[in-house]
Structure 1
Amino acid sequence: MSENKYLESTIKEIDLEKGVIYINKTNSSQGNDFIAKKEYYEKTLSSEDLASLRVGTKVKFKEYKTGKAYIAQELTVIHDKELPVSHGLSEIKYLESTIKEIDLEKGVIYINKTNSSQGNDFIAKKEYYEKTLSSEDLASLRVGTKVKFKEYKIGKAYIAQELDIVRDFKNIYDIRNYDSIKNNEDNIQQNKKGMTVDFNLANSIESIFKNRLSYIKNGADFEDVTFLILKFLSISEIYTIPRDRQGGQPDGFFKCLSIATQTPKLEVVYDCTLKPKHLWQSEKEKQIEAYLGYITKTQRDVSYDYIDKNGQSSTFKQTVTLNNNSDKQIWIITKDCTRLIENKQYEIIQNNNAISLDIAIKEINIYDLLNILSNRLKKSDFVKIDSVTDELRYLGSD
């Protein structure tokens, strides 16, 4: 391999669990993307390099072709001249400040100092911010927008890397509605009954979620956003399983009560995944079998540790009752599609009698849940929780 010249390209996909990194083709006539396998890349990439890899990271490698496969060997990261070879950013804490000036034509964003003793403002250059900010993020930036970033200092320059918008509600709402917020009254529609809907606000909430989902690559982040959307839907009871106690358990479960009878109408165990369908289907088979047993119990114990406002550590414990007269479902929540995977007959013993329960196993697209939320927020009439429950219940049943 030593006589081969290095090629340069960018990362297309990373799957360290399977031990493969996919790299974009270097020309349009090339049949397939390059593949870097673990037995090759672990010889040239440090653990810090692997942790820093992102889709779009520039790399160089030597090509080895076998059949139709393009193998990348001697893979290394192309480090920007201003950065030390090791990057070292993974251990640096995020700083927060606000945008001072934006010049996307020149490819620079200026960010206000974080303290008075700092010599110069921070600078975020295009080669850094385009890795973490989507086109929608860039279009939404305004002077004063709150951002977070990691600092790297070279000489008298303060460089902002891993730049991201601080995604709290007030910050996102303000930047999404910058041009229309002064005329907000025009965007509040009133129907004959005198009820109003603030479409700016409803659209902002939807935009926050869509924007967040668009760049999520981490399973834990996906779980968090899913949990938040479910809470926004005003589900009666929803519980997440702490990640350090999830072994063999789902990410969470929820119950929707009937308003009329105050009894469970729908009970769902859910699990989130960002993996492609061909990967998660085989992995989830055994887990789904376990979830069948999980959802058919008469009660579940929930416990997790938390830190209160005084910094004291406490443990929350609660026993949650389940009802076998409710509609029971198992959801695999993805960013792909909504469909019925299987209607399962599951037999349990109750009061010494065998009972057969119908359990629907479904794949649910997170954007379909977001669509239900968006429609709910934009309705100008009363929204009954039972109607939301029915929408959830019949997802994927067509």
Structure 2
Amino acid sequence: MKITGTINSISIREGKAPYGFIVPDTAIPGHEGDIRFFADRLVGIVIKDLKKGNLVEFVVKEWNKKDGTVEKVAEEVYFLNENNRLTGVINWLNHEEGKGFLRPDKSLNNQDKDLLFFKQDLEEITIENLSKGDKLEFKLQNINYKDGKVVKAVKNIRLILPDLPKKSVSVNKKTVDNLNVKDIKLEISSCLGNCIKLSDSAEFEDYVFMVLRLLGIHNLYQYDKKNQAGRADGFFIIGSLAVMYDCTLRKNFDEYKKDQIENYVNKLKNSQMTIDIRLTDGGGKKKTLQIQGKNRQVWIITQESTRELYDVDGIRIKEIAVQDLIQIFNKRLYSDAFEEDELSAHLAVIDKN
């Protein structure tokens, strides 16, 4: 029987097998107090990545110690994040057949086997947009066949975008000659990541526009701040996706932005969009863009979390976290190939309910 508990302590000392103790959520018959686990009994995570307070799931088994005594210990210990997911890396992929194999980050039940997955079990991405070496998160489910055979199947698969590097590279006149492309990418990603938490609304708006431009969105327009009352902050088209976006630093904007969102939706219901474009000489001109047949969305871009709000006549309204846009940029920066259709697909389905 599987039970849950909380990591209470971890011991990693040179020359000794790493281990830790779990505080069980329920009483264990024949055992009192915390229960021990060993590093080689962890599934889907390594012990150095565990912290006190982490929630885990495990089974209880008996361990025959060298002195002849028996101790109850935790085995098959799974780390429980908010979605109870495991992680792994793609090591073989066949786009035409719609399947691939992934190598779990930690062996499952002490079996060093790759796991087969199918395109129909992917979420928020198509198999055409996956590559060998991509990291995935997933759930394992038991499939019961008529002959009594039970097979673990990989389900609810999502792509894990690369984390932003936390290390900052110092670039100055003395070191610039020694920089390589990897260092430059590191500097770009680190700089963007460090600027996420802006407190000035105008700066945040300009920052979002810069991130969208860096993503490679060419048909991107920012509205003039001097004539912006009741209007969105910008508009863009990429592939079949057309988005009117607004930036806010408010944490609870739903009621505050209600009338504005309704206005944005009404504009997107038209077959075309007319944009006022600022010219470098200080003048301006109007440009009309066709949006009929496009996947039309309204984005409220924040520093919080990505979620789908609601749908009005086929126009989807979303809250989009700017850090999720930066993760897509980071994925593109570190990928060997990332075409416009792939970027459009990523942006169209960005949604973390």
TM-score by length of 1: 0.44
The structure with higher relative contact order (CA 8 Å, sep 6+) is 2
TM-score by length of 2: 0.49
More helix by share: 1
